[in-house]
């Protein structure tokens, strides 16, 4: 909701000013010239955890019982670290992780085979309502971390920025032919330079899980299917080399890789009239290059969650829990975002 | 972007005549900030301290909304109860400043109270009562304090670099395995040396929990001084004075990392395993983990099981287990060892942290 307001206020420049971490408040209210990666990188990064140091986890005594988690690959390490920290305090609680992708994890929750699922793509209301009907319980979906991905291109490419809209992604051609624009397939469509009319846009990425793929498609072609060739690379090194050697490359990479040799970072421009993002996180104004990662949990229709599950989720939303998120290169929530997620769960906060 | 509204005092002003003296309610994690009283360290500490919310607990269960802070419950004996706040009321503003979710920011009611409270302990609230009526409610905090304060001393022979940082922690030691459960902690620089005054404003004690206080002095991640053992404290509604003598930190037990400071060791692991220098704050994140009571072994396992290291191994099980083995033992595994590693990896369903921790335990 807040993001929508921001978008309507004016065009927003994304993806350059907060190169070191997910830019919750990086959106600017006016279109500004793109900032070169070197300039962006020279600014000291704010510590995303400084906001959270007072969010202690206060353990209860006597907790026991199971905490069964299904986790997508993106959040597997965070889940393992949460279990490690939580189990030190509550050795009688039996925690377990079952690998599951973002499609299967919630199904395991609905079937009662796990208590919660960690997924890397959002859940729409229709999907959640269907699960609730099937499970006979309330299903809550809350954000637990963010993953920041940025677009880079071959350094020789004259394109300066990537206009993005929720409907067309970044593939809307700049050329005004009078006819309804088809999705861009060659670089001349995007950079306006006729010398690049025969250079196809080729997307290079890391190996994609289902959630990451969803995010890539959303950024690339909005609500449409992308006509572009996508090449997945097994290692960061191979990806870096491919981006630097392929003149027509377009890469979606972690923001820490924006300074690779032979590539340049591109800002993402959002038009003033863009509609709100489907996966906007409650209480957050993160920009669309920050991919939210979610926890899906089934809640009893009445009464409270079993105490060990509530305690585990409190740990996830505490300073040590968010420290674990940062340890695997993900971006922790802010305190305000945590408050909002707690409210989605029906929890209140003591003041 | 939404603009935070500055509520006029015209409504609140005339209704602030009453002065209430209130009790001490429970505290939430938002208000676990510590503060120092020593004037010598106050300025330096201010830069990193959170607002002094612990000193001004409202005693409510609160939900932040775009239209204010809804009160979901009021603690008995709290400042909020004495001011007549009730479940269902909504706090719109504190000292004239809007609270709750405003645009893309959260204006925390407890932080705002700490910021706006006057020298007499009073702060005006603008409240929409559950009946729908607007009311100006004066909130008054009493003078009673449950602060723990004292003096940190050290042997005059102790060599403590002036850049060192002191951390004082209030620990929950109810369960034997809760070795580093800090309810609140405060940090201050050593500066010109000892003695140094400290003060902690603790949250309300949970029933039947036991507490202790400890302190440690670290220089660039290296433990220099510490209390010999956490000092048990009695829970009390009064101020307490506890002086904390610091002694030289014991040398770490012999291990592969015994002679290296933790931060240097962590940087070395990141450089070696991930093939790049540490990112901004990356080392700090792992050092904070040590402060939470985890070991260097946990840190090593965390880096070796990270998504980034797994990707460097082509996200491939066999490459990964081979490389982890090579990092820990210096040689590649034999075919029999590789088969064992694969079986171990599969047994933990590919949860890399568990796999590496088991290997590390075996290698010690």
**pLDDT band at residue B351 under the 50/70/90 scheme:** very high
Quick one: average pLDDT of A235-254?
A: 88
Decide if B29 and A20 are in contact by the 8 Å CB cutoff.
no
Mutate which of A98, A336, A350 to disrupt the B interface (most B C-beta within 10 Å)? A350
Decide if B349 and A98 are in contact by the 8 Å CB cutoff.
yes
CB within 8 A of B248, min separation 6: which ones? B155, B158, B224, B225
Q: Are A96 and A116 in contact (CB under 8 A)?
A: no
> What pLDDT sits at residue A321?
95
Looking at the complex, does the CB of residue A336 fall below 8 Å from at least one CB of chain B?
yes
Alpha-carbon distance of B213 to B173, in angstroms, equals: 10
Alpha-carbon distance of B355 to B342, in angstroms, equals: 10
Cis previous bond, B195, omega within 30: yes
> What pLDDT sits at residue B85?
94
ipTM of the complex: 0.79
> What pLDDT sits at residue B327?
95
Decide if B312 and A80 are in contact by the 8 Å CB cutoff.
no
Given a cut of 90, whether residue B135 has pLDDT beyond it is: yes
Quick one: average pLDDT of B246-265?
A: 70
Taking residue A198's Cβ as centre, other Cβ atoms within 10 Å add up to 10
Question: How far off is chain A from B303, nearest CA to CA, in Å?
Answer: 8
Which residues 4-33 in chain B show a CB within 8 A of chain A? 26-33
Which residues of B are less than 8 Å from A57 in CB distance?
29, 181
Q: Are A211 and A205 in contact (CB under 8 A)?
A: no
> What pLDDT sits at residue B299?
95
Instruction: Compare CB distances from A54 to B32, B61, B288 and report the shortest one's residue.
Output: B32
Can you read off the two tokens belonging to residue B71? 């009160």
Among chain A residues, the shortest Cα distance to B71 is held by: A348
Looking at the complex, does the CB of residue A328 fall below 8 Å from at least one CB of chain B?
yes
Which residues 250-279 in chain B show a CB within 8 A of chain A? 279
Which residues of A are less than 8 Å from B30 in CB distance?
54-55, 335, 349, 351
Looking at the complex, does the CB of residue A114 fall below 8 Å from at least one CB of chain B?
no
Given a cut of 50, whether residue B360 has pLDDT beyond it is: yes
> What pLDDT sits at residue B43?
28
CA B259 to chain centre: 29
**pLDDT band at residue A303 under the 50/70/90 scheme:** confident
Strands A65-71 and B165-172: unpaired
Tens digits of per-residue pLDDT, A5-33?
333 333 333 333 333 334 332 333 233 33
Which residues of A are less than 8 Å from B316 in CB distance?
234
> DSSP character for B22?
-
Tens digits of per-residue pLDDT, B52-71?
445 678 888 888 888 899 99
**pLDDT band at residue B297 under the 50/70/90 scheme:** very high
- SS3 (DSSP) at A322: helix
Quickly tell me which residue has 């015994």 as its tokens. B258
B172 DSSP β-pair partners = B211
Three-class DSSP labels, chain A: CHHHHHHHHCCEEECCCCCCCCCCCCCCCCCCCCCCHHHHHHCCCCCCCHHHCCCCCCCCCCCCEEEEEEECHHHHHHHHHHHHHHHHHCCCEEEEEEECCCCHHHHHHHCCCCCEEEECCCCCHHHHHHHHHHHCCEEEEEEEEEEEEEEEEECCCCCCCEECECCCECCCCCCCCCCCCCCCCEHHHHHCCHHHCCCECEEEEECCCHHHHHHHHHHHHCCCCCCCEEEEECCHHHHHHHHHHCCCEEEEEEHHHCCCCCEEEECEEECCCCCCCCCCCCCCCCCCCEEEEEEEEEECCCCCCCHHHHHHHHHHCCHHHHHHHHHCCCECCCHHHHHHHHHHCCCCEEC
Rg of chain A in Å (alpha carbons): 21
> What pLDDT sits at residue A9?
30
Decide if A350 and B316 are in contact by the 8 Å CB cutoff.
no
Alpha-carbon distance of B180 to A201, in angstroms, equals: 53
Looking at the complex, does the CB of residue A256 fall below 8 Å from at least one CB of chain B?
yes
Alpha-carbon distance of A163 to A178, in angstroms, equals: 19
> What pLDDT sits at residue B220?
77
Among chain A residues, the shortest Cα distance to B350 is held by: A99
> What pLDDT sits at residue A45?
53
Among chain A residues, the shortest Cα distance to B28 is held by: A350
> What pLDDT sits at residue B134?
92
Tens digits of per-residue pLDDT, A111-146?
999 999 999 888 888 999 999 999 999 999 999 999
Q: Are A97 and B349 in contact (CB under 8 A)?
A: yes
Instruction: Compare CB distances from A76 to B27, B285, B351 and report the shortest one's residue.
Output: B351
Tens digits of per-residue pLDDT, B16-57?
222 222 222 222 222 222 222 222 222 223 323 333 445 678
Q: Is the CA virtual torsion A141, A142, A147, A152 positive or negative?
A: positive
* DSSP secondary structure, B163-219, as one string: T-EEEEEEEE-SSTT-SS-EEEEEEEE-TT-S-EEEEE-PPPPPTT--EEEEEEEEE
Which residues of A are less than 8 Å from B110 in CB distance?
351
Which residues 37-66 in chain B show a CB within 8 A of chain A? 50, 57-65
Alpha-carbon distance of B12 to B9, in angstroms, equals: 5
Alpha-carbon distance of A122 to A120, in angstroms, equals: 7
Phi, psi dihedral angles at A281 (to 5 degrees): -90, 135
Q: Are B102 and B94 in contact (CB under 8 A)?
A: no
Give the number of beta-carbon pairs within 8 Å between A and B. 178
> What pLDDT sits at residue A66?
97
Question: How far off is chain B from A21, nearest CA to CA, in Å?
Answer: 10
**pLDDT band at residue B11 under the 50/70/90 scheme:** very low
> What pLDDT sits at residue A85?
93
- Mean pLDDT of all residues belonging to chain B: 79
Instruction: Compare CB distances from B104 to A54, A235, A285 and report the shortest one's residue.
Output: A285
Alpha-carbon distance of A298 to A137, in angstroms, equals: 6
- Mean pLDDT of all residues belonging to chain A: 79
CB within 8 A of B157, min separation 6: which ones? none
> What pLDDT sits at residue B259?
54
Given a cut of 60, whether residue A103 has pLDDT beyond it is: yes
> What pLDDT sits at residue A289?
73
- C-alpha dihedral, A255 to B321 to B326 to B296, nearest 10°: 60
**pLDDT band at residue A181 under the 50/70/90 scheme:** low
Given a cut of 70, whether residue A82 has pLDDT beyond it is: yes
Among chain A residues, the shortest Cα distance to B205 is held by: A58
Which residues of B are less than 8 Å from A236 in CB distance?
308, 311-312
Decide if B27 and A350 are in contact by the 8 Å CB cutoff.
yes
Q: What are the percentages of helix, strand and coil residues in chain B, rounded to 5?
A: 30, 25, 45
Question: How far off is chain A from B35, nearest CA to CA, in Å?
Answer: 12
Instruction: Compare CB distances from B351 to A45, A97, A339 and report the shortest one's residue.
Output: A97
- C-alpha dihedral, B4 to B9 to B15 to B19, nearest 10°: 80
> DSSP character for B95?
T
Quick one: average pLDDT of B304-317?
A: 91
The residue with greater pLDDT, B13 or A261, is: A261
Decide if B30 and A335 are in contact by the 8 Å CB cutoff.
yes
Which residues of B are less than 8 Å from A73 in CB distance?
307
Tens digits of per-residue pLDDT, A186-202?
999 888 888 998 999 99
Tens digits of per-residue pLDDT, A49-65?
877 877 889 899 999 99
Taking residue A171's Cβ as centre, other Cβ atoms within 10 Å add up to 26
Given a cut of 60, whether residue A351 has pLDDT beyond it is: yes
- C-alpha dihedral, B153 to B164 to A329 to A78, nearest 10°: -10
> What pLDDT sits at residue B251?
62
**pLDDT band at residue B92 under the 50/70/90 scheme:** very high
The number of residues in chain B equals 364
Decide if A350 and B101 are in contact by the 8 Å CB cutoff.
no
Question: How far off is chain A from B330, nearest CA to CA, in Å?
Answer: 23
Taking residue B157's Cβ as centre, other Cβ atoms within 10 Å add up to 6
Given a cut of 90, whether residue B222 has pLDDT beyond it is: no
Query: Whose CA is closest to B364, among B269, B275, B298?
Result: B298
For the ranges A69-73, A302-306, B91-95, B122-126, the lowest mean pLDDT is seen at: A302-306
Quick one: average pLDDT of A325-331?
A: 93
Find the helix or strand (DSSP H, E) in which B222 lies: strand B222-226
């Amino acid at each position: 909701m807040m993001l929508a307001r921001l978008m309507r206020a004016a065009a927003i420049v994304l993806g350059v000013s907060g190169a070191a971490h997910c830019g919750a408040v990086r959106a600017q209210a006016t279109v500004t010239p793109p900032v070169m990666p070197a300039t962006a990188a020279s600014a000291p990064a704010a510590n995303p955890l400084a906001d959270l140091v007072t969010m202690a986890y206060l353990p209860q005594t006597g907790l026991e019982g199971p905490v069964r988690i299904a986790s997508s690959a993106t959040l597997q390490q965070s889940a393992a670290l949460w279990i490690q920290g939580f189990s030190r305090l509550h050795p009688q609680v039996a925690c377990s992780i079952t690998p599951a992708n973002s499609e299967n994890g919630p199904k395991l929750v609905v079937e009662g085979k796990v208590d919660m699922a960690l997924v890397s793509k959002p859940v729409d209301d229709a999907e959640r309502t269907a699960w609730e009907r099937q499970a006979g319980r309330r299903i809550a979906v809350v954000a637990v971390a963010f993953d920041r991905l940025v677009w880079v291109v071959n350094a020789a490419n004259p394109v300066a920025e990537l206009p993005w809209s929720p409907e067309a992604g970044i593939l809307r051609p700049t050329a005004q032919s009078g006819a309804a624009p088809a999705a861009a397939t060659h670089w001349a469509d995007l950079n306006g330079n006729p010398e690049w009319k025969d250079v196809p846009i080729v997307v290079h990425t890391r190996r994609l899980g289902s959630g990451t793929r969803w995010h890539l498609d959303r950024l690339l072609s909005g609500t449409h299917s992308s006509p572009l060739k996508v090449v997945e690379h097994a290692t960061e090194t191979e990806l870096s080399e491919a981006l630097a050697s392929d003149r027509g490359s377009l890469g979606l990479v972690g923001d820490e890789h924006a300074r690779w040799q032979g590539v340049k970072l591109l800002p993402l421009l959002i038009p003033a009239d863009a509609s709100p993002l489907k996966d906007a996180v409650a209480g957050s104004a993160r920009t669309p290059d920050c991919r939210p990662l979610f926890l899906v949990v089934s809640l009893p229709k009445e009464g409270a969650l079993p105490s060990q599950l509530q305690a585990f989720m409190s740990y996830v939303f505490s300073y040590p829990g968010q420290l674990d998120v940062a340890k695997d290169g993900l971006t922790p929530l802010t305190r305000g975002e945590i408050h909002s997620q707690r409210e989605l769960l029906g929890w209140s906060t003591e003041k | 972007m939404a603009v935070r509204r500055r509520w006029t005092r015209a409504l609140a002003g005339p209704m602030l005549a009453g002065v209430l003296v209130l009790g001490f309610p429970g505290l939430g994690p938002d208000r676990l900030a510590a503060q120092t009283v020593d004037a010598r360290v106050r300025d330096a500490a201010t830069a990193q301290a959170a607002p002094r919310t612990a000193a001004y607990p409202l005693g409510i269960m609160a939900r932040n909304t775009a239209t204010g802070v809804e009160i979901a419950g009021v603690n008995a004996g709290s400042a909020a109860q004495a001011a007549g706040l009730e479940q269902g009321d909504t706090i719109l503003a504190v000292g004239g400043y809007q609270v709750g979710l405003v645009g893309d920011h959260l204006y925390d009611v407890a932080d705002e109270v700490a910021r706006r409270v006057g020298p007499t302990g009073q702060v005006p609230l603008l409240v929409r009562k559950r009946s729908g009526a607007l009311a100006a409610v004066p909130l008054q905090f009493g003078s009673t304090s449950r602060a723990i304060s004292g003096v940190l001393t050290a042997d005059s022979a102790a060599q403590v670099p002036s850049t060192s940082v002191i951390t004082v922690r209030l620990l929950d030691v109810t369960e034997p395995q809760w070795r580093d459960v800090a309810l609140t902690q405060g940090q201050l620089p050593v500066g010109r040396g000892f003695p140094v005054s400290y003060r902690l404003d603790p949250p309300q004690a949970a029933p039947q929990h036991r507490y202790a206080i400890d302190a440690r002095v670290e220089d660039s991640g290296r433990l220099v001084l510490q209390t010999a053992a956490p000092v048990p404290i009695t829970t009390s509604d009064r101020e307490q004075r506890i002086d904390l003598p610091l002694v030289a930190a014991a040398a770490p037990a012999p291990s592969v990392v015994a002679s290296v400071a933790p931060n240097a060791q962590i940087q070395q692991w990141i450089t070696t395993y991930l093939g790049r220098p540490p990112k901004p704050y990356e080392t700090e994140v792992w050092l904070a983990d040590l402060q939470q009571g985890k070991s260097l072994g946990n840190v090593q396992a965390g880096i070796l099981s990270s998504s980034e290291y797994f990707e460097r191994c082509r996200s491939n099980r066999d490459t990964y287990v081979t490389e982890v083995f090579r990092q820990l033992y210096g040689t590649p595994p034999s075919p029999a060892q590789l088969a064992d590693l694969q079986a171990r990896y599969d047994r933990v369903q590919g949860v890399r942290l568990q796999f590496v921790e088991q290997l590390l335990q075996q290698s010690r």
